[in-house]
Structures are given as structure tokens and as C-alpha cells.
Amino acid sequence: MTSAPTGPGAPTYDVVVIGAGIVGSAIARTLAGYRLSVALLDARDDVGEGTSKANTAILHTGFDAKPGSLESRLVHEGYHLLGDYAAATGIPVERVGAILVAWDTEQVGNLPGLQEKAVANGYPHTEIIGAREVYRQLPHIGPGALGGLTVPGESIICTWTTNFALATDAVRRGAALLLGRRCTGVTVAEEATVLHTSAGDVRTRWVVNAAGLGSDVIDQHFGFDRFHVTPRRGELMVFDKQARPLVEKIVLPVPSAVGKGVLISPTVYGNVMLGPTAEDLTDRTDTGTSEAGLEFLLEKGRRLMPQLLQEEVTATYAGLRAATEFSDYVVEVDAEQRYLLAGGIRSTGLSSGMALAEHVRGLLAETGALELTPRDDLPDPPRMPNIGEASLRPYQDAARIADDPAYGRIVCFCERVTAGEIRDTFAGTIPPTTLEGLRRRTRAQNGRCQGFYCGAEVAELFETRAAAVTAEGQAHR
């Protein structure tokens, strides 16, 4: 991992991207493809610790976006960019498809309009189907469905691996990763902008603000007051793998004026997810679940798929959307202050992130103030460890185990995570710094026992490896 000094003698970067979520990591990766010195800075001690780690993990086609909006264009483009990138890097994706299910005549009446909207959003592949076909494709949904709209391109993806792949790629292209640095103030001067952070000042010519829930506060540091973030909590329930045969496709509600509604979706780890809720909060850190939220989900689930509620719930979690007073993304450049804002990336940033990065590159190029010369010495994209169920996992790979028995030694039995995979994360470009970080890289402790059986061994392996990485770091100083 690249860490950079702060204080006297510290470098002045060409661009610092604030926020190492999916959006910031994608932007840093893109800009590091040019002859620029780039840094990716985050308040947290790991990448992907914000909204990007807790969402519904659907790679959206953008069929239901607002036609003509920036979000519509970027989700549409991002869908293809991330799909291709996932194939190149090994990010788990399953092309399961979705069906919007209509439960009353009003919803049935809305389906043709949704189909037209999909076409306007560049997605012509939907089909309106009757109740019989809905039940043929989704035999386990509850009684009373009257029809549906198929969206065959909607896919499920691993949001964690997406974030790690983009950040890893950025670092391998030479970007410095500045973690544990909360930006608390900004001084813009002609020669350089100084970002005041919790771990010292960072100097840069340009700043890209991709700080998600904190993006309006950073924007205020640059003297703006153009939008405000309202954390919109989405709570989700994860059902045990036994439930997966019930749900072959994403079951979507017909969207209403108040949002996309509650869905049921398979996950790339072999579980089933029910959610999310949508509740505006004031606390930008409140990612806890609530009794009312989970009750609401159970109520919805009972109608959508009663059989699902007979399965065990493995986990519950919540993520916070960075909602604003605007329905669209807020992406604007201020050439005078050498500053670009990528804000209001509320509920589609996983899908659109790579296209957003291209859009940001275009806006920066248009200013004429930042020279963007493509590099001809770029490393290949990283090949990420597979933590999805659709491809061969290390414990299933006889040749790999014969070569290295550590891949045959399962440590986390619920999720079949091996000692070899845990070891490998510490040799990666961005090693984990916490058990939670290890979980997102390997799935260890993510299963039905939630670490009850493997917790002690996983913690011991983590501590031993983390200590070795620290000792190695000190020896190199």
C-alpha cells in the first residue's frame, strides 16, 4: 500500500480524490491512467467503509431512471463498463434478471409506462407478462400477482469486490492511498490547495470531492452552499442459503412516487435479501437497524413471498443513501478553485461509478487547466479473489489445493473460507486492517453463525498476519 508523508517535503499531488468509496475509487483509477500524480484520501482506515459496503448490490440497467437525467446516462453506461470490468477482474456478477410484479390493477396499468420509460433510458429489452408467466418464472411469490414486467439485464454483483478492485487498480497505477485522514478544512491558494486533515495537511493542485455522505460539508469548505445531504437509511434482512432456491430472480415492486420500494433478491454469496426501507434521518453515522424497520420488512415479505419468512435470517444491516434536495446527481466543476464536486450519488452509484469517473475525466479535460496525457505503461487490471458462488471457490479447486494445502484448510465453515484466502489478503495491494475488512475481502464470519464457531481462529489468523505486515513495514523504514 502506498502511504505518503505529510508535512514539510510532502508532495503536491496533481489531483486528490476525497472519498475511497466506489465513486472516488473509480475516479482515482481513471485519473491514474494519465500522467498525473493522484491520491485517494479517506477518513476511514480502509477503502469502501461508507455507503459502498452496505447496499442492495444490484447492477442496474437504469431502466427506471428519469429519462434525460445525468443519472440515467451514467447508470446506463456504467452498467456496461462495470459488467466488462467485472469480467476482466473477477468481480462476482450473476445475470439473474428481474421481474417487476404488479399486485393491483393500478400497478398493472403502470407497466406500459414503465416499459416506455425503459426504452427512453436506452433499455429496450423489457417485456410485459401476465400472471401465469409471472408465477412460472417466480413460483414462490405470494398469491395475488396480476402481471409483471421482465428486466432481463438486471444483475447481482459483489459491491465489496467492486470497491476493492477499483481502489487496488488505482494504487497499482500509482495512486497514493491516504487512509485515516478526515478532511476538516481547505485552503485554496494559487500555487496549491491545502487539505487540512486529521493526520496533517495534504497539498494538491486539484480536488475531486467524492465524499458521499460528507460531500456537502467538503463543498462548504470551498465556499459553496448548493446542496444538503440527508442520510436516507435503507435496512435489509439477509436470509440463509437454504432460501436461495426460492428466489432465482430479483423480485421488484412497481415503483411509486415515494421510491423504488422493497425487493427480494438473491445475492452472489448464495443468500436471499429482503429490503431496503427508506427513512430520512439526521445522523449521518446511524447505520444501526431498527425494530420498526425490520417489522416493516417482515410485513412486506409476508405478502411478497410468505415461504421466505419460514427461512432463517442470518443477518440484518443498514446503509445510508446520500440523498439531497435534487433528484439528479450534482456533478460540477469550478475551474477557478481547481475543484470538482461529485455529489448526490444516492441510490445507483455502484452501477454508475465507472461511468461517473469517465464523466469527471471529461469535465476536467474541458477546463483545459489539467493536462491529461494517457499513460502507455499501465499495469493489467487486478485479478480479484473470487468470493461469489457462481464460480469456483478455492475450497472446490482440487488442483489449487494440491499445489497449496492452505486452500484445502477451511477456517470459516459457513462460508467455506480457507486459511489460504485469509493469508492471501495480507499479501494484497490493500491489506485489511480490521476483522471487518477481512470479512469483506473473504466472507469469513459472514455466514449463518456470524463468527460464533470460527471467530477465535479467524481472529488469531488475522492478528498473526496483521502483526507480520506491521513488522515488515517497520523493517522497511
Closest by Cα among 162, 147, 135, 141 to 111: 147
Q: Which is nearer to ligand FAD, 215 or 418 (CB)?
A: 215
Place of cell 465507472: 354
Burial class (CB in 10 A: 0-12, 13-18, 19+), 31: buried
* C-alpha cell at position 433: 486492517
Nearer residue to ligand FAD within complex by CB, 21 or 420:
21
- Helices 349-367 and 159-172, axial angle in degrees (round to 10): 30
Q: Report in angstroms how near the CB of residue 48 gets to ligand FAD at its nearest.
A: 6
Residue 162 beta carbon to ligand FAD: minimum distance, rounded to whole angstroms: 9
* Residue with Cβ nearer ligand FAD (101 or 458): 101
The CA-based dihedral angle spanning residues 169, 172, 175, 181, taken in that order and rounded to the nearest 10 degrees: 80
User: Which stretch of DSSP H or E encloses residue 28?
Assistant: helix 22-31
**Which letter does DSSP use for residue 256 in this model?**
B
Among the listed residues 60, 76, 221, 359, the single catalytic one is 60
Beta strands in 58-199 (DSSP E): 58-59, 93-94, 98-102, 127-130, 147-151, 155-157, 176-178, 183-188, 193-197
C-alpha cell at position 234: 435503507
List the grid coordinates of 447: 455466514
C-alpha to C-alpha distance for 362 and 73, rounded to whole angstroms: 14
Residue 13 C-beta: closest distance to ligand FAD, Å: 15
Least separation in angstroms between residue 109's CB and ligand FAD is 26
DSSP letter for each residue of 35-84: SS-EEEE-SSSSSS-SGGGSS--EE---TTS-TTSHHHHHHHHHHHHHHH
Pick 251 or 345: Cβ nearer ligand FAD: 345
CA distance 82 to 297: 30
Task: Give the integer Cα–Cα distance in Å for 285 and 84.
Answer: 33
Nearer to ligand FAD (CB atom), residue 331 or residue 412: 331
Question: From the CB of 98, what's the least distance to ligand FAD, in Å?
Answer: 11
DSSP string, 396-444: G-HHHHHH-GGGG-EEETTTTEEHHHHHHHHTSSS--SSHHHHHHHH-T
What are the grid coordinates assigned to 9, written together?
A: 517535503
For the bound state, the minimum distance from the C-beta of residue 394 to ligand FAD, rounded and expressed in Å, comes to 27
Residue 115 or 348 with smaller CB distance to ligand FAD = 348
Q: Which of 206, 201, 181, 177 is nearest to 191 (CA)?
A: 206
CB contact at 8 A, 275 and 262: yes
**Minimal distance, residue 120 CB to ligand FAD, in Å:** 19
Element (DSSP H or E) covering residue 26 = helix 22-31
Looking at the Cβ atoms of 41 and 461, the one nearer to ligand FAD is: 41
In the bound complex, what is the minimum distance in angstroms from residue 455's beta carbon to ligand FAD? 26
What residue ranges bind ligand FAD (CB under 6 A)?
18-24, 41-44, 49-52, 55-58, 60, 182-183, 210-214, 218, 234, 276, 319-321, 345-351
**To the nearest whole angstrom, how small is the minimum distance from the Cβ of residue 416 to ligand FAD?**
25
Kindly tell me which of 420 and 432 has the beta carbon lying closer to ligand FAD: 432
Q: DSSP letter at 308?
A: G
Active site residue 221: no
Helix (H/G/I), strand (E/B), else coil: 6: coil
214 vs 451, beta carbon nearer ligand FAD:
214
Angle at which helix 435-442 crosses helix 419-426, to 10 degrees, equals 120
SS3 235: strand
Residues belonging to the active site: 60
